[in-house]
Structure formats: C-alpha cells, structure tokens
Amino acid sequence: MSRAKLEKLGLTLPLLPTSTVGSFPKPDYLLQARARFARKEITQKELEALERKATEFWVQQQEEIGLDVLVDGEQYRGDMVAYFADIMPGFRMGGLVRSYGNRYYHKPIIAGEIRWPGPMTVKWWKFAQGLTSKPIKGMLTGPYTIMDWSFNDYYPDRKSACLALAGAIRKEVETLVEAGAKVIQIDEPALSVRPEELPFAIEAMQMVTDGVPAYFITHICYGAFEFIYPRMLRFPVHNFDLEMSNSGLDLIGLFKKHPFNKDLSFGVLDVHSHKIESPMLVKERIAKALQVIPKEALWVDPDCGLKTRTVEEAQGKLRSMMAAVKEIRQALDKAPKRKQRRIEVGSVVKKRRKKIRKHKYKKMRRRMRHKKK
Ligand SMILES: [Zn+2]
C-alpha cells in the first residue's frame, strides 16, 4: 500500500482514486487533420494546434466527469511504441506488420545505438498540467515493450536492447519529475509474453525508477498472468494497472492463492465492447476487487486505453464508472456504523428467536402432557 508515498509527494487522493489508462479517442476533426498531414496538405504547426484543442477538450471532460488523476489523452500519438521509436536515435521504421485483428503498424527496427533525444513527452505533460489543478500522469512506454515490439538488428540480444532502452526512458522520467510530474505511468503490455525474460524486464524497470521521487504505475494488458504471478510482484513500481473485466475477473482467483501486495488499478470497463456498462455492473466488479484488495490500495479505471471507442462511448463508460465509485465511497464511509448496527440488530433477533423457541417448546410439552392424560 502506498498511501504514505502519495502523501509524501503532496498528493491527497480520495478512497478508490479514479483514473484512465492513457489514450482517448481522437475527435473527427483531428482524425481528418492527421490524414491531411500524412498527405502533406497541412503543416506540422496546423496539426499541432488541433492536437492542443483536442487535449484541452479531454482534460476538461475528465474534470467534468470527476476523475482524480488525469491524463493528456495522447491526442498527438499514433502507436504507443512507434511514437517513441520515431523520435529516438537508433531506430528506423520497418514495414507494416499485423498487430491484432485488422490493425497494422510499422514495426520499428533497432539499427544503431539507442539514445535519449531530449524530452519526448514533457511538452505535452506541461501543456495538459497547465489546464488543471488535478495531477496529470506522465505517460511512457516501458523498455521491455518497446524492445519486444521492435526488430533488433544492432544489439547482441534482447536483454541488451532492453537495458539500452531503459537508460533512455530513465532520462525521460527524470525530466518529467523535474517539470513537476508526481505520478508516472510506464506501460509494459508485453510483460507476460515471455515469462523467462521477466528477470531482465525487472532489471530494466529498476534502472528506470530507482531513487526517483515519484509514484510509479505500470499498465499491463492481454497477459497470461498465470505464468508470471506472483513473480511479477517484484517489479519495482507502486501500482499495477491491470485489465480485469475483459478476462472475466479471472485474476481474482490468483490473488486469493497468493495475496497481491501493491496498489492495484482495477480495470472495470471493457474497452473492446461498444456497450456502456451500467453503474450496477461496475459496482459489482469493484465489490469483487474489495474481496481481495484492501480499500486503501484500490484504484479504479478502465481495462485499457479508450482510443478505440467513440467519443460518446468513452464519456458514457467513464460516467458510469464514476457514478459507481461515488456510491461505493459513500457506503465505505458509512460501513463501520452500519456494521455495528447490524451486529446489535443481530443479537436482538437471536434473543427473540430463543424466546420463541422456548415458548414453542413449552406449548409442545403442555400438549404432550395433555395427550398423555
Ligand atoms: Zn492496455
């Protein structure tokens, strides 16, 4: 549990802090502008003005919905790995490969020494933080995932490529903290792909986070967690943000066998479904999480980034989530008193039942005596 860590950083968050995994859908005008930019019909400056407009929209939406820890919405990013590979020296873009379903992306190639090119995300973090008094998360992709989603034509093995990337991401983390970021999320969706590589993935994350005064979250999705749990608890971050709802909350069973000992951002919204979850369904999911995670250690958010939903679906899902969280917070506030009352009520009921039983017994005895006579 890291409440103390958060308070040390000057962050007082309510019970069940709410957040999102990072990406939001891009409004139509931005999608069109990105296509026009690709065809060289508008300038970088014109595109950036629209990216700022969309960022402002999402920061304002998150405030209005009532989330506690906000994100910049990644309106300026395409793919979470290609964005960094595009900027970092050492990479060149490869051909199109299929990622999932009918989605294709340019798989980057590590073709030289990887270096940190100077701030990659800080400008956007500062812009978003300037729009709100709520904390904005720094958002990065982790060294293991960038390595796993790229071809390696330069380093002798996957581990050395991963550690070289860790050095560059560490510098980005330090720059975010210097700018004022207190919560930094470093996504490692690929973490469970090859369980035998977990030790060097941990070593890389140690390089990234060691001694840095920030609260670190790692998001992992589509994982085969049963192969890396509980070993993954050695990952040096404060909070694991896990996809739970799309996998039918299966992980809860694992947590019952071996207790989860970090803060958990519990995914309560299925980002692959168009359907907007009802607050009742979200409440049921949170109640299940509370069976295995102490309330002080639980955060609530969607399963993954919302970028594949429509703007309206993303808004609707988050409103449902917030309504559910508010109700559960109220119930938890009142819980000690109610529990006491239930105990009192319980003992009164018990006494009354005893009386009734005694009364019935006497009546029966009387009847028996009567029969005998
Ligand atoms: Zn994800």
* pLDDT tens-digit readout, 155-203: 999 999 999 999 999 999 999 999 999 999 999 999 988 999 999 999 9
Residues 347, 279: Cα–Cα separation, whole Å: 34
In this predicted structure, the answer to whether residue 56 has a pLDDT above a threshold of 90 is yes
| Segment 39-67 mean pLDDT | 98
* Ligand 1 mean position, distance from CA 146 (Å): 14
* Ligand 1 mean position, distance from CA 191 (Å): 11
* Ligand 1 mean position, distance from CA 3 (Å): 24
* Ligand 1 mean position, distance from CA 145 (Å): 12
* Ligand 1 mean position, distance from CA 220 (Å): 6
* Cβ contacts of 68 within 8 Å, gap of 6 or more: 13, 14, 17, 18, 19, 134
Q: What is the pLDDT of residues 231-264, one digit of tens each?
A: 999 999 999 999 888 777 778 888 889 999 999 9
Across the chain, mean pLDDT equals 89
* Ligand 1 mean position, distance from CA 89 (Å): 26
Closest alpha carbon to 143 in 127, 123, 164, 115:
164
* Ligand 1 mean position, distance from CA 199 (Å): 22
Per-residue confidence band for 373, with pLDDT thresholds at 50, 70 and 90: very low
Enter the tokens of residue 206: 């140690």
* Ligand 1 mean position, distance from CA 215 (Å): 19
Residues 372, 24: Cα–Cα separation, whole Å: 83
Range in 13-17, 301-305, 351-355 the model is least confident about: 351-355
* Ligand 1 mean position, distance from CA 234 (Å): 20
In this predicted structure, the answer to whether residue 361 has a pLDDT above a threshold of 80 is no
Per-residue confidence band for 360, with pLDDT thresholds at 50, 70 and 90: low
Question: Which domains are assigned to the chain?
Answer: 3-338 (3.20.20.210)
* Ligand 1 mean position, distance from CA 306 (Å): 9
Q: Beta strands of 54-167 (E only): which ranges?
A: 91-98, 104-110, 138-141, 151-152
